[in-house]
Structures are given as structure tokens and as C-alpha cells.
Amino acid sequence: MTDRLGLGLTAAASAILALAVSTAAVQPAGKGARVDKTAFGTTREGQPVDLYTLANANGVTAKLITYGALLTELHVPDRTGQLADVVLGFRTLAEYEGGHPYFGATIGRVGNRIANAKFRLDGRDYALAANDGPNHLHGGLRGFDKRVWKGQVVPAPSGAAVRFTYASADMEEGYPGALTATVTYTLTPANELRLDYTATTDKPTIVNLTNHSYFNLSGEGQGTILDHELMLMADRFTPVGAGLIPTGEIAAVRGTPMDFTRATAIGARIGEVPGGYDHNYVLSHGGGVLAMSATARDPQTGRTMDVLTTEPGIQLYTGNFLDGTLTGKAGRAYVQHAGFCLETQHFPDSINHPNFPPVVLRPGAAYRTTTVYRFYAR
Ligand code: GLA
């Protein structure tokens, strides 16, 4: 007889396996892994915020808070085994609440820009919060990055995981439909931080969730990322016009400063890109399956990060607007280009470009995307 796992087990063996699986399910973490929960603070409105620490047997740790379902720390080894915190962020909740350019945050309901903060869906016009000149950026005035999510430790057979859930009200920031979003962060024994997103809605709406971590593989606050080598599995990108809104064109990177098809220092041609990189790349794999999308490496320490995603696009943002006025966890100022972001996503302003992959979510359908940040040294 067969079973659901397709292992050809007998009914008795299946029953034992089912028991073993359900027992494992009450264990929050896999072998050598650990999840801790502590208090991080209280918001100005009086909501408590928790901090979850995920650790694996290699000493890698990731810290996440329920405010913004946000990654505050990520400690990974260099080629000598030395750990460093490779994401930009703050020590305190007050600093996050004081305003910041989305350090480590979960972005929603729609990441990136929507031109003129307007869209039309099923014959109806919607006006969103305009929070970037006339345009809508990263979910509006109070996007998912500024909400307190519900945290929950979830079983991870070989790692450590926490799930954050946020229920976004109908018409919040102008978006139709009550939407429930989740993001599950899993730290695996292979030094991967895996982000699994889901969303469901009760009315047609648009969704495009991402994470806005700024990485510096030398360690946060250790200068700029201009000498990091970057490779993007993308030979095309979406050019932008005024306000960084895509023109709708899909252009080849070959022979331009946009070309990262071979490992190239981020700073090599950044001077030729007005304002620095803040562009969406069209991933060659096309999205839909979890596939290699980018590799970044710090030649000094050897720390290397692969990005795998099911998304069709990735925004390369090189911390162009950082100007030294924000001070990070180790007390060092975040200068321009102190970090880079690789925001996996559907293309910016997709809802207003019929030639871009669609971002519409309808009742009964499940939104599901996965992104993996994998760390090693070479
Ligand atoms: C995104 C945008 C940038 C900028 C940053 C935050 O990555 O594309 O233009 O708004 O967020 O400063």
C-alpha cells in the first residue's frame, strides 16, 4: 500500500511516523538550534514588542522583532570563523519608531512605488497614501514596517523558526480588502535565513511583500559596501523616469553600468548612475520557483551571501540616501552606501504596467513567495 509521503509504508509504520512527526512538531527547534523570546520594548501607543532570537548550531544568530516583523541583527562568520552582525539597524525600539529608511523591515502591502499613488482594479479607482512626492512607496504612511505583528514560534524540524502575522484592515492606506499576511523566518543548519510569505484577502487587492534589510558583509557600520562584489542573475532591468517610476520599458544591462551579470564591485561604475543604484532587475529565471538570483561577496572578510527567490524581480538599492545622520548598533554613523539592499519583489508600479508580472490577489487565492539569504565565506 502507498501513503501520502509516497514511501510505501504500511499503515502501522505510517501511524508511528505520524506520531513521531507530531511529537517533533511540539519541539520548537531542530538539533542544536534555539529560539528565545524576550521583551524589546513598548511602542509610543503602548503596544509591547517582542524580540525573537533564532540560533543554529554554527553560532549563527538572527534577531527579529514584532515591530515591522523586522530583522534587527544577523551574525554570520567570515573565512576565519569570526562572527559579525551584517545588517544595519538600531539597538532600541525608540530609534526604529523615530523614523528610518526601512532597516530590516517587512514591506507591504505593496513594496516599492506606485505612480501618482493611484491604481484601477476591476473598473474601480483607488487612491493610496502619497508618501514619496506624488507617489506611493513601500505601503504608505504607515505600512507593514510600522505595525506590530503577532509573533509565534513554529516547529522547524532542522532549524529555528518564528512566524509573524499581521491583519491589515480593508482600505488601510487606501488598499481594498482585509488582508492577512504572514512571514516566517527560518534559520537553517546551512546558515540560510529563509523568508516564507503568505497572504489572503477577502476582496480583490494588490500585494507585493519584501524585506528591506541593508547588508554590509564587513559588519554593520564598517564603512561602505562599494568594494563588495555583486553578481545578479539578470540581464535586463526596468529603467525609471521621474520619481524612480518605471517607464514600462525592459532594457538590456549589457554594456552599461547596470551590468552585474559577472561579479563586479558595486562601486566600479556607480558614479555613472545618477543617485546610485535604486533599480529593479528582471531575474532571468522568471520567478515561480526558488532559484539563485544574486551573490554578494566582501573581498576583505570573504563573507558571501547568495539570494534565492521565487520572485521575478530584485531591487538593488545601495543606501544612496544614507548620509551619516543615523547611528547604528555599534555606535557608528551610517554613511552613504553603508549597506546594500536586495529586495526580492514583483516589479515596481506593476499594477499600472500590464506588461509586468501581475500583483493582484483575489479572494480564495493564496499569495506565497519565498526568499533565502544564504551565508558562507570564501
Ligand atoms: C527603497 C527605495 C529607495 C528608498 C529606500 C529607502 O529601496 O527604492 O528609493 O526609498 O527604499 O530610503
Cα 343 to ligand 1 centre (Å): 10
DSSP helix/strand/coil, 117: helix
pLDDT digit string, tens, across residues 231-261: 999 999 999 999 999 999 999 999 999 999 9
Domain assignment present for residue 29? The answer is: no
Provide the CATH number for the domain around residue 193.
2.70.98.10
pTM more than 0.85: yes
4 sits in the region (left: phi over 0; alpha: psi -120 to 50; else beta) called alpha
Domain assignment present for residue 319? The answer is: yes
Domain assignment present for residue 339? The answer is: yes
CB atoms under 10 Å from CB of 223, counted, come to: 14
Q: Whose CA is nearest to atom 6 of ligand 1?
A: 101
Task: Tell me what pLDDT residue 30 has.
Answer: 81
CA 167 to chain CA centroid, Å, is: 19
**Cα–Cα distance between 139 and 150 in angstroms, integer?**
19
228 as an active site residue: the answer is: no
Average pLDDT over residues 336-351: 98
Task: Tell me what pLDDT residue 31 has.
Answer: 81
Closest atom of ligand 1 to 343 CA is 7
Q: Grid cell 513598548 — which residue?
A: 42
Domain assignment present for residue 308? The answer is: yes
Domain assignment present for residue 128? The answer is: yes
Domain assignment present for residue 162? The answer is: yes
Domain assignment present for residue 1? The answer is: no
**Cα–Cα distance between 251 and 242 in angstroms, integer?**
17
Residue 27 has pLDDT above 60, yes or no: no
At 193, the amino acid letter reads L
131 is in which domain, residue-wise?
34-377
343 as an active site residue: the answer is: yes
CA 323 to chain CA centroid, Å, is: 23
Closest atom of ligand 1 to 112 CA is 8
Cis amide leading into 109 (omega within 30):
yes
Domain assignment present for residue 352? The answer is: yes
Question: Taking every pair of C-alpha atoms in the chain, what is the biggest distance, in angstroms?
Answer: 67
Average pLDDT over residues 170-174: 98
Cα 122 to ligand 1 centre (Å): 29
Average pLDDT over residues 29-41: 92
Which residue in 172, 192, 343, 353 is the catalytic one?
343
Give the residue among 210, 253, 209, 249 at the shortest CA–CA distance from 231: 253
Residue 12 has pLDDT above 50, yes or no: no
Task: Tell me what pLDDT residue 22 has.
Answer: 36
Which residue in 138, 212, 228, 353 is the catalytic one?
212
Q: Domain count of the chain?
A: 1
pLDDT digit string, tens, across residues 76-118: 999 999 999 999 999 999 999 999 999 999 999 999 999 999 9
Closest atom of ligand 1 to 278 CA is 8
